[in-house]
Structure 1
Amino acid sequence: MTEGEAKTLFDTEEDSLTPEEREDLATAEPEAEPVTYTGTDFDVEGLVRRLKRGDIVIPTFGHGDESLEVAGFQRGFVWRRPQMDRFIESLLMGYPIPGIMLVQQVDRRYLVLDGQQRLRTLGAFYEGIHGGREFVLDNVADEFKGLTYRTLAPEQRRQLDNTFIQATIVKTDGSNQSLEAIYQVFERLNSGGTQLTPHEIRIALYPGMLVDFLEKLNKTGNWRQLYGARSLRLRDQELILRIVALYDNSAKYFRPQKKFLNEFLGTHRNLEGLDNGKLERLFTEASKLLLEGPGRHALRFQSSQVNAALAEALYVGLMRRLDGGTAPTPEDVAAAVRAFTSDRETAVTISGSTATEEYVRKRLNMATKAFAGI
């Protein structure tokens, strides 16, 4: 069973991309970034050896070693034991195995861009432990049942150790231009079972203090009550990024939205040029007023789901109002939200294709005027 097939088994509604995310992924960048890559083959034993000594790194999702130019491409480890067993069995049977993709950084380490689950499975099988228990093959043909790496017959061990896995190696120099090229490469390969969202790819490319700041805001109580349950696909965190980026730099917004957010996150990767204290204060005050005024339904429009376009407009408009003077009452905020959402022009700008420059600027201006009047 391939990694993509295993992902498909565990797809849920949360795993599916939203129409907005599909549009974002499908929208072409105005410029195609060049990339340098090579192909090579690694024997399985060599891959495991490199994993153990840290020459191949499976990055932490969204965070990680500051010395890594690229980190966190991988989501959580989702294979269950039957899929892990079947993968090892495929290698023992000599079946063809999908290739992996690595990013070679300046210090010559390889970072796993695609193939986390296969590599983690190999590491666990060679180590003999998974989840605190002995890794004994079970969901396999009878001839392999009960085997561990240490109890493989010599010919079986040679078959496994000497199997070659093809690797595509993409090179980066750590610059924003280089990372944007890798983003475009990954986006084009991002298909099959559980596609990564644009934001999952984005924070993988640009881990740092800004991502940590977004996650801090994402944990605040009033925001959580407004948004609802945590998004397994980080859609709540992406919405906060949209709010922060548009509050800070809406005048320079451009399509495609994914590139605008990529550039913002890359430029302010470690909060360079951002007043994070002010942003946190305005965001938390706006969350409190929206919850106490219009309530949880404020971020929803004709649906039980959060409308991201509506939410970003309300937050940016209210944060601008809070930055300009004394805080309005929750009742005044509720009245402003009703006026904004009942306007026919609002419905146009928060439905359908919402990421155009015209619609983004229009809804932000309308929300700003609605809150300026209270």
Structure 2
Amino acid sequence: MNLATKKTPRRIIAQPYDFSVQDLVDKIESSDIDLKPDYQRNYVWGDNDEIENKRSRLIESLLLNIPIPVIYFAEQQETLKYEVIDGQQRLRTFQDYLQDKFELKNLEIREDVNGKKYSELNPKDRDEIRKRSIRAIVILNESDEEIKYEVFERLNLGSIQLTPQEIRNNTLRGSFNDLLKELANSELFSKLINLKLKKDQSNMAKEELVLRFFAYHFSDMKRVESLSYFLTKYMKDNQNLSQNKIELHRNLFHNTLASINKYLGKNAFSIYQVKTSRWNPTSNRALFDAEMLAFAKVNQDEIRITPKQFIERLKKLMEDQEFKKSLIDQSGGKKIEKRVNSVISILLNNQ
């Protein structure tokens, strides 16, 4: 074995702690625990608790000394505060109950506490709840970023169902992540992009599209890994971009969008339905890649076609079965190059 090529094992550095329920609530109140970082979702137990009764049953578990699942935190690099990876609903329930925001109901073992808020319990039960020990695992900020991403992803399998971009948002913070969020919410991009699912408006799908554009553009559309790893690697490699490079990325994105708006307007990133002679109202991710990358590669003074001519040629391209099929295939490799080159050919008015 060649020792010179042996890789240093990547490490996750984690520390277990036992906090009392009161400790956890105090840390939430003092903002030492961030209950709702960017990647977290709303407090669904409070909104949908009529049937499952999870809140009351969790408090009853404290009273009965039933084991509570481990809570996972990530330590922020800048402030050393804790962000919740897994356990937000439990923590919110602890906080709300100690603040008398709901009363217990429909409990079968401790029927005697049904209808009671925290302040209405006897002193013994109050002590039982607030002093109860909860195991927490804190992923320390010295942990390898790629391994930290893996931890988020695997915990996500059985819990809060984060999207890959939501995980990147939490594990790869820096100037580039801030830029992605800025551009995803820019006025023109919000006007041109129309994602199909309502949840895409809040699960960082738009930020991932911006990331896709940069990753493909600056890698000259060369991708050998899975799309998820390809995007994660690009974001990690550019996590803390200098201000000059941030400006380069920002200007590239805005200038490309402006060109697309000039030539396509409301039809940007939309598939033309030949059978119905209509543009699909929702954006297509593969077409987003093709149009953004093509317009980014061609200078304005090289374009040899009017907006009206461009749209007519694009409609004709979408009649091509191979091109149409490529819009629903995985974006990558030769397929994405072919899509981009097809659009570039139109812009240059190549026959």
Q: Which band: TM-score by shorter chain?
A: 0.7 to 0.9
Match of 1:371 among 325, 347, 351: 347
User: What stretches of structure 1 move > 6 A for 4+ residues in a row?
Assistant: 299-304
1:227 paired residue number? 194
Structure 1 runs not aligned, ≥5 long: 1-30, 62-72, 129-134
RMSD: 3.3
Show the 5 A alignment for 1:2-21: none
Give distance in 2, aligned partners of 1:299 and 1:318.
19
Match of 1:153 among 113, 118, 122: 122
Give distance in 2, aligned partners of 1:108 and 1:40.
15
Matched, 1:320 2:290: no
Could you tell me the TM-score, scaled by structure 1's length?
A: 0.73
Maintained 8 Å contact 1:190/1:196: yes
What is the one-letter code of the residue matched to 1:261? L
Match of 1:185 among 148, 151, 166: 151
Deviation at 1:261, TM superposition (A): 1.6
Deviation at 1:311, TM superposition (A): 1.8
Show the 5 A alignment for 1:199-218: 199-218=165-184
Deviation at 1:314, TM superposition (A): 1.6
- The structure with the largest alpha-carbon Rg is 2
What is the one-letter code of the residue matched to 1:307? N
Deviation at 1:184, TM superposition (A): 1.0
CA spacing shift, 1:34–1:357, aligned 2, 3 Å: farther
1:112 paired residue number? 84
Could you tell me the TM-score, scaled by structure 2's length?
A: 0.77
Tell me the matched-pair count: 322
CA spacing shift, 1:193–1:44, aligned 2, 3 Å: closer
What is the one-letter code of the residue matched to 1:242? R
Q: Percent identity?
A: 25
Mean CA deviation greater in 343-352 or 158-167: 343-352
Deviation at 1:158, TM superposition (A): 1.9
Give distance in 2, aligned partners of 1:168 and 1:313.
43
Deviation at 1:307, TM superposition (A): 2.7
Show the 5 A alignment for 1:302-313: 306-313=283-290
Give distance in 2, aligned partners of 1:304 and 1:298.
8
Deviation at 1:200, TM superposition (A): 1.4
What is the one-letter code of the residue matched to 1:102? F
Give distance in 1, aligned partners of 2:9 and 2:332.
20
Match of 2:97 among 115, 125, 128: 125
Give distance in 1, aligned partners of 2:57 and 2:223.
48
Deviation at 1:156, TM superposition (A): 0.8
Match of 2:71 among 82, 100, 103: 100
Mean CA deviation greater in 323-332 or 87-96: 323-332
3-state secondary structure, aligned to 1:113: strand
1:282 paired residue number? 256
Maintained 8 Å contact 2:62/2:132: yes
2:216 paired residue number? 246
The higher-RCO structure (CA 8 Å, 6+ apart) is 1
